[in-house]
Amino acid sequence: MLNLKYLKPNSEVEHSHDDGHGHSGGQPNNFKAYLPAIISFSMLMIGIGLDYFDIAFFKDWLRIVWYGIAYFPVGLPVVKEGWESIKKGDVFTEFFLMSIATIGAFIIGEYPEGVAVMLFYAVGELFQNAAVTKAKGNIKALLDVRPNEALVYRNNNYISVSPETVEIGEKVQVRVGEKIPLDGILLSDKGSFNTAALTGESKPDTIAKGEKVFAGSINMDGVIEIESTKEFKDSSIARILDMVQNATARKSKTELFIRQFARIYTPIVVFLAIGVTFLPYFFVDDYVFRGWLYRALIFLVISCPCALVISVPLGYFGGLGAASKNGILFKGASFLDAMTKINTLVMDKTGTVTKGVFKIKEIKAIGWDEKEFMKYLMEMEEQTTHPIAKAILEYKDKGTDYEASEVSEIAGKGLKGIVNGKTVLVGNKALMIANNIDVLEETETIVESIVLVAIDAKFAGYVVIADELKDDAKETITALHKLGVKNIMMLSGDKDSITQKVASELNIEIAKGGLLPEDKLNEVEVLKQNPENKIAFIGDGINDAPVLAASDVGIAMGGLGSDVAIETADVVIQTDQPSKVVKAIKISRSTRKIVWQNIILAFGVKVIVLILGAGGLATMWEAVFADVGVALLAILNAIRLQKMQWKD
């Protein structure tokens, strides 16, 4: 029913509201949109006043013309839509029901009721469009951060061009308050960025030279320069836009069922209304056609499935918008539903619950001053690009007076070279054994990555390198247990000893390390053999893509995660915070709760008033409430999703 049209990067921002029968309405953001309803309402109130005071001239043809004119502004569009639907072969729509009911009311002389039904229907449409606009607000904010220009350094000058024309490797300048036009790395010493539209986090993010910056972020402090690393179509903001724009096309099972149900339910009610009109002739002694026709018209008005057709998709759309506001991108309403059923969570380690950035945890120099020891080690590590080498080179007291030479890499073991005239070995235990170097026994008990160092054939010490846990990792596991996610498993390609240590710190009972991508997939396939397990997998690497695809819900870390993982996943966490999974579950459950509240409300009220209408105990005014009134209540209930606050 609701559709955010696909947008190319240069296209204008367009929104449409589609009610499922081809009826579209724009956003009611100006007086013109409300004018038809205002005219009809004013004329209806004047007409009712003239009727009440029994004004002499307001009789016969003048009365009919007056109410006919009042009906025209709000009724003609609906009648026209009903006729267009019939021509397309879709007869039993709410437009058809409203048209028959209100025209029938005019035929039997119930002019005010006929105008009122159509007026309130039109008002309901205005409220609905306003609700859609509200629900789209958070998602539209993503469109608003789309960069429109890029200042690129070409021919010894900065020129303004479209972001789509910037090539990888070009230098781009960004001024204060401007948006980063493409993904890249920061060339300036540092920068402060507002990433709220991408991540949902209001706190500015400080980035150092050489670190990644993402398109759509806003530069908060000083003129900076970046080097583009991706084309615009592959940038983070373009990916987000594409995912959001396509999310509304994926309907939930509940939403699809309601629309299918409405197509079956509506014709049944039409034939029941015909029965209400004519069947009493055979069973009632004082049968009056006009009275039973009036009951049938009431029956038709009540039967309109507007509240269901409107509120269910709107509820899911509100859930998608609320999630986007919090830095969580669902690729469709169906995954909101799926997330509510998750009872088993399988997670990767590196980059998911850990930061994926190695840091020096411990330095132990034996017979050497620590700074002197690190000079020898860093000179050797400067000859390699290994992630562990990068961590070592971040040591704060780097020396500059030594230089490595004759450095060679020994496959699978480490490095050998000359520093300051001394022979230096840097690597693992196998390298030490191969060179008859005795190491301390305590190194055997260290589960983290360890770099052993020997200088002039003597063991000189070691450095322990470890990946840090994310700040919210432990509280995430606790919160998931409270939400009923009882089975939590960690699967990692890292060493099993490290995986087990991290799992123990997080209170995860089942953990397996040293796994290849196919091993992770096999573990999930085993879990899937139990039909009671509803599995979500959260990861960030290329090697996680097969498991993301196989899970009931695949969740990818969208900041540091690989493009393959993000494309494969069903849900993307823009902040790389595992605690967002908790928030995603809460938003999903709240969305489903509100959707079912609306379904029960709509059915409950309709059934009661249908029975009263068929028995002659309800007037057209009760019918209006059962149709438009309930729809308005359902819309207001769905809007609550935009106001809710969820703690991680």
Q: What is the dihedral of CA 191, 195, 196, 202, to 10 degrees?
A: -30
The residue with tokens 């781009």 is 172
Local structure of 5: helix, strand or coil: coil
Q: Measured between alpha carbons, how far is residue 48 from residues 51, 60, 106, 146, 284 in Å? A: 5, 15, 15, 52, 33
Told to judge if 348 belongs to the known catalytic residues of this protein, a careful annotator would answer yes
Name the percent of the chain in helix, strand, coil, to the closest 5: 50, 20, 30
Whole-number Cα distances in Å, 124 to 74, 485, 629: 11, 40, 8
Q: How far apart are CA 485 and CA 577, in angstroms?
A: 18
**How far, in Å, CA of 326 to CA of 644, rounded?**
11
Q: What is the dihedral of CA 397, 403, 408, 411, to 10 degrees?
A: 0
Catalytic residue among 205, 337, 348, 552: 348
Q: Which two tokens stand for residue 647?
A: 């703690």
476, containing H or E segment: helix 473-482
**The amino acid at 285:** D
Q: How far apart are CA 85 and CA 88, in angstroms?
A: 5
Would you say 506 and 353 are in contact if contact means Cβ atoms under 8 Å apart?
Answer: yes
Q: DSSP for 327-396?
A: TEEES-HHHHHHHHT--EEEE-STTTTEEEEEEEEEEEESSS-HHHHHHHHHHHHTT---HHHHHHTT-T
DSSP single-letter state for residue 252: -
Q: Which of 234, 200, 188 is nearest to 215 (CA)?
A: 234
Instruction: Indicate which residues carry an active-site annotation.
Output: 348
